[in-house]
Amino acid sequence: MAAWRGATTLGAALLPLWLTHRARLGKEDPARLGERRGAGADRPAGPLLWLHGASVGESQSALPLLEALAELRPDLHFLLTTGTLTAARLLEDRLPASLRPRVRHRFVPLDVPAHAARFLDGWRPDAAVLIESEIWPNLILAARARGVPLALVNARVSAGSARGWGRLPAVARRLFGAFGLVIAQTEEDAARLRALGAEGAQSWGNLKFAARPLPAPRAALRALREAIGGRPVLLAASTHPGEEAQVAAARAQLQERLPGLLTILAPRHPERGPALARELEEAAPGAVARRAAGDLPGPGTAFYVADTIGELGLLYRVAGVALIGGSLVPHGGQNPLEAARLGCPVLLGPHTDNFATIAARMVEEGAAERVADSGALAEAAAAVLTEPDRARSMTSAAARIAADAGALPERMAAAIEALLPEPAPAWDGIRAATATG
C-alpha cells in the first residue's frame, strides 16, 4: 500500500494536464475539475450517506436503493459520486424530483492521498456505499482511518480480477476487509470476495434486476412512432466496433423477407455516430439518418443511427426485437433486462460475461435467444418479428425474471441503515407515525 500511496502522490503533479486533456475531449466537465481533486464540499446538516457508482450501469442501479433508503430514513441526506460525465448527466435526468433536495452529486476524486483527504474531510460522511467493483485503495483506507463504516453492494469480481488481487494477499485482505458489509451479485462473486478478505460476503442477487424501467419523453416517443409507422424495427443497442458491420450484414439478408425493415443502431459511445453513418452510407447510399443531427427516419431510411445519450428507453419501446450490444464481440455485453423490462424481445451474442447469470437464466427460461453471427442474427430477428406469439412468450418470461428481485432494494437499505448513526428522536416519531398511518 505504501508503494501505491507513493506512486499516486508522485503522479498527482501530472493529473491536472490529464484532466484538462479529458475536458477537451468532452470526458470531463471543465467547470468541475476541482471535484476530481476532492474540492467542492457542501455538506448538509444531519446524517449523510455517500454512495458511489462509477459509470452509467452502477449509478442507475443505485436509484432504487436510494429511494428505499430515503423512505427508510427521512432524515438522511445523500452524496452521490460518479466517475463519468455520462453517468452524471443521466443521474440528473432520472433522479426523482422528490429526492433532489436531499441529494448532492459530485465527481469522485482521483485516488491520490491528498485528494481523498480533502474529499473526506469536507464531506464527513456517516457511512459509505460503493457499488459493484470500484476499489480505490487511498479512498477506502482513508475512509476507514476516519471511522467511516464501509459497504460494498451489488459487488462483482471476475475470476481474472480475483487472481490479480490474490497475488497481493496482504493488500487484498486489508482492502476487502475494510468493508463491514459486502453483498455480492452471485455466490461465485461472494466466494471470491471471501477468499480476498471480505469474510462476511454474501449473495443476495443483482440490483439491476430491480431497476426502474428506462424513461422515454412522451413527445419524443410519439414523434418517433409516427415517423416509423408500421415498419418492423430491429434495434442494435449499445453496440461496439465490429458489431455494426454484422448487423448491417444481417439486414442485407433480411431485405427480401422484411422489405420494410428499419434497422436502428445505437452505439455505446455516441461520438462514433458520424463515422458510423459514413460507413453505413456505403452499404445503403442515401438511406441513412442520424438522430444527433435532428433526423427522424423517413420511408426510405434503412439505417437510423441513434447517436444520442440516455434514449435507450425510447428505442426499446419502438423496437420489435433488440440485439444487446457488446455481446457479438468479446466485450462482455450490456444489461439485457433494460430491454426486457420494456417488452422488447432480446437477442444475445456469445459474449455476455458482464451479465453472465442474468443472460444464462434468460436464455434457459426462454426470455432471450443466442445468436453467434450475422446469419444467426438475421434468422432470429426474422422469427421474432414475424411470429407475434414467439415475441410475447419471450417478453413474458423476461418480465417474470425482472420481477424476482423486487424487494432487494429494501433489503439492502435495511442492512445499510445498520451502519448509520441512530436517527434523532424527532425522526423516530415521524417514522413510527408513518408506519402506523
Helices vs. strands in the chain: H and E counts, helices first: 19, 14
Distance in angstroms (rounded) separating the CA atoms of residues 258 and 47: 58
Q: How far apart are CA 358 and CA 337, in angstroms?
A: 8
Q: What angle do CA 30, 34, 36 make, to 5 degrees?
A: 95
Contact of 184 with 200, CB cutoff 8 Å: no
All three cell numbers of 425: 428522536
Q: Residues 28, 35, 58, 369: which is the catalytic one?
A: 58
Closest by Cα among 220, 153, 141 to 184: 153
Q: Is 256 among the catalytic positions?
A: no
Map residue 113 onto helix, strand or coil.
Answer: helix
Q: How far apart are CA 29 and CA 41, in angstroms?
A: 17
Question: What burial letters (b/e) apply to 391-430, b meaning 16+ CB within 10 Å?
Answer: beebbebbeebbeebeebbbbbbeebbebbeebeeebeee
User: If you write DSSP's letter for every residue of 390-414 in order, what string do you get?
Assistant: HHHHHHHHHHHHHHTTTTHHHHHHH
Helix (H/G/I), strand (E/B), else coil: 277: helix
Buried (b) or exposed (e) across 272-300, using 16+ Cβ within 10 A?
bbeebbebbeeebeebbbbbeeeeebeee
Which residues belong to the active site? 58
